[in-house]
Amino acid sequence: MTYTGKARAREVSPATGAVRVVIADDESIIRMDLREMLQSLGYTVVGEAGDGTTAVSQARELRPDLVIMDIKMPGMDGIAAAKVLTEERIAPVLLLTAFSQQELIARAKDAGGVGYVVKPFRESDLRPAIDIALARFREFLELERTAASLRDALETRKAIERAKGVLMDTQGLHEAEAFQKMQRLSMNTRKPMREIAEAILLAHEVGKDTP
């Protein structure tokens, strides 16, 4: 069925029952039909909004698993709202649009919209689009965590290498000896190697004796 009809009742799927959704559209009839479709599919609608600003506020407060919103809304449109929600890592966004122009879709992707559904949509269109939006957002967050971990590892390695150089220059140690000294300091103080390295570098910069 399309978004202008009534949703067909069906058994709630345990796989989707925990997914909490905020929906936003400036047309109340579309919100009503969308809510019925989502509920019949087993999703839980926790909030509704008629504009992008309210949708963002509700998402910040309710922390849903997904936000489904129309692109064209008064005030802040769906694309701008999607950009905010993605930048704040609040929830994935599934955009609804009556337009299929490539430039609009490109703008939605640039703004952080992770998926879109073209109106008039059917109930059968929602579940795969929602699954993809949720999966892409999880991948996005995982990639960010991986990138952050790699950056942290690189910065740690750089700090350790620099600190080893300081110990070698100031205390006449070989590279292996400098590293072992840092390891002992880490074990004795129960502090990570990066913290030990940064302390050595700071002490060297202010002209104090290194540990």
We report the CATH number of the domain holding residue 162 as 1.10.10.10
**Residue that is last in its domain, among 121, 141, 172:** 121
pLDDT at 154: 87
**Residue 139 belongs to a domain:** no
**Residue 53 belongs to a domain:** yes
Pair of tokens at residue 41:
């599919």
pLDDT at 3: 38
**Residue that is last in its domain, among 102, 121, 140:** 121
- Its pTM stands at 0.63
pLDDT at 111: 64
Q: What is the pLDDT of residues 26-44, one digit of tens each?
A: 988 989 999 999 999 999 9
116 strand-pairing partners: 95
Co-location of 103 and 159 in the same domain? no
Co-location of 114 and 177 in the same domain? no
pLDDT at 47: 94
Supply the range of the domain harboring residue 196.
149-205
Q: What CATH number should be reported for the domain holding residue 86?
A: 3.40.50.2300
Strands (E), the chain: 20-24, 44-49, 66-70, 93-97, 115-118
pLDDT at 148: 75
Indicate the burial class of 95 (C-beta count within 10 angstroms; 0-12, 13-18, 19 or more).
buried
**Residue that is last in its domain, among 82, 103, 121:** 121
**Residue 133 belongs to a domain:** no
**Residue 5 belongs to a domain:** no
Q: How many helices and strands, by DSSP H and E, does the chain display? A: 7, 5
Q: Which of 1, 39, 49, 48 is nearest to 19 (CA)?
A: 39
pLDDT at 103: 67
- In total, how many domains does the chain have? 2
pLDDT at 162: 92
**Residue 65 belongs to a domain:** yes
Q: Which residue numbers in the chain have pLDDT < 70?
A: 1-17, 99-114, 208-211
pLDDT at 211: 57
Co-location of 117 and 24 in the same domain? yes
pLDDT at 100: 62
164 in Cβ contact with 179 (< 8 Å):
yes
pLDDT at 62: 94
